[in-house]
Amino acid sequence: MGKTDGFMLYERREDGLRDPKVRIRDYNEIHADQSAEVRCIQAARCMNCGVPYCQSGIRLHGMVTGCPLHNLIPEWNDAVYRGHYEHALHRLLKTNPFPEFTGRVCPALCEKACLNGLDGSPVTIRDNEGFLIEYGFEHNLMKPVIPALRSAKRAAVVGSGPAGLAAAHRLNQRGHNVTVYERDDEIGGLLMYGIPNMKLDKSVIRRRRAKMEAEGIRFLTGVSVGTDISLKELQEQYDAVILACGAKKARIPDVEGITETAGVISAVEFLKETTKALPALPAVNAKRKKVMVLGGGDTGNDCVGTCIRQGCTSIVQLEMMPKPPEERLPDNPWPEWPKTLKTDYGQQEAIHVFHRDPRMFCRTITSLIKEKGILKAVETAEVSLAEGRLIISEEREQIPCDLLIIAAGFTGCETELPASIGISLTKRNTVATENGQYMTSCEGIFTAGDMHRGQSLVVWAISEGLACAKEVDAWMMGYTNLI
């Protein structure tokens, strides 16, 4: 522990965000990075706890707190405080292969478990992590690491989201020959087309791809497994196959005509088409439109921020759950995940532009008002929970709406590919495996990430990809020395 009283001397200071009135004019990253000196001081706040909950990744009351990757947070915070950035980066990369992703989009489960958060403000762990990886790239420390020896084993990874990339990285570093299949024109999965540029500039993903290719991984983009090549063919060509195709099947509300109405689009499709079209507007856009976003999660917030930039004339975000409290309640103590109100960047921007929070809590849509098949308004109603049942009020409110974006979550993976060779699925439409394992019901075929656990966080996808790679290595070699 470098600064024994750092947590008492220094206040938490986040990287923060660019001014809303400036950032809504572009799609550049919203983060306002700070100097190395600031990061050193912030790292000095780390208490080097005897039992560091920040790196625990434990489940409390059904929610995880602490890092699922078990990052060695006190170690590299101490090294950052002392200015030993290269050593700190080495310790960070030991557990997390992609800090440039988690340092931007992770909700920082580690910080929610930081002991400083018990009666004060947690350490800026995510900001410190982001600083370290960018320092590494800027100072030529992120050179390709090419395995000294290659095995004769070949592995195919289907899907290049964070789980697929993590599995490919780990197997390649072990010395296996890895090919990644991606049906889109760019790698990254939801990192590329589900998270907007404001949170994760796509140059960051392309930079990582270049490094992984230099290390020997082969990426085949624009190749759809199941259409351009069958899963059975992959089985025949490779020693092992990993399915990491995500959980992209959107949850569509049971509202009459919702899939046939012009002016209704899923959040993932909306964000994908926006990213593809930049710097121009996509065919379906929010310019001069009254927008409603159905869903209060991160994806819904990303849609709000995107619509603000496209020039919407109004925006409403519906959330079925009640408004969370601003402070922890007694039945939600540290180090549990804090069930408190979060006003994210998109909502902040809506408040700046329209002078009010766009969210309406305890509300859902009941019907669409159309003219000649084109959306004109949405009828909504209040909802409540009683004895585990959803109660919809009989009173209705009509809200003008030209564009309805569905960000109500996902219902599992697209089932056609696993069904093509009879891979078993769970009741949640995820690929079934034994508990704590990654082998599917078809020998030699594995799964990881959202396709395996359901819609989740980037950090969990990376964790799954690494664990899956270990199991694949043991399967191909008969043993494994991966940790």
Distances (CA, A) of 129 to 7, 136, 345, 453: 18, 11, 20, 26
Q: Given this model, what pLDDT does residue 419 score?
A: 94
Mean pLDDT of 30-36: 89
Question: Which domain covers residue 431, as residue numbers?
Answer: 154-248+411-477
Q: Of 138, 166, 183, which residue sits at a domain end? A: 138
CA dihedral sign of residues 292, 269, 295, 365: positive
CATH of the domain at 10: 1.10.1060.10
| CATH number, position 216 | 3.50.50.60
Q: What is the domain count for the chain?
A: 3
Beta bridge partners of 220: 181
**Span 292-311, average pLDDT:** 96
Same-domain status, 219 and 311? no
pLDDT above 70: residue 364: yes
Please indicate, yes or no, whether residues 113 and 23 belong to a single structural domain of this protein.
yes
In a domain, 254, yes or no: no
Q: For the segment 166-211, what is each residue's pLDDT rounded down to a tens digit?
A: 999 999 999 999 999 999 999 999 999 999 999 999 999 999 999 9
Helical pair 125-138 and 73-81, crossing angle rounded to 10 deg: 60
Residues 344 and 360 occupy one common structural domain: yes
Are 350 and 438 in the same domain? no
Residues 420 and 291 in one domain: no
Of the two residues 202 and 2, the one the predictor is more confident about is 202
Q: Do both 11 and 69 map to the same domain?
A: yes
Q: What is the pTM of this model?
A: 0.94
Same domain? 418 vs 300: no
* 439 phi/psi in degrees, rounded to 5: -75, 130
pLDDT of residue 41: 96
Cβ-proximal residues to 464 (8 Å cutoff; 6+ apart), any chain: 163, 166, 438, 448, 449, 452, 453
| Residue after which a domain boundary falls, among 78, 107, 138 | 138
**pLDDT tens digits for range 402-457:** 999 999 989 999 999 999 999 999 999 999 999 999 999 999 999 999 999 999 99
Asked which of 113, 138, 163 is the last residue of a domain, the reply is 138
**Is residue 127 located within the same domain as residue 14?**
yes
| 147 assigned to some structural domain | no
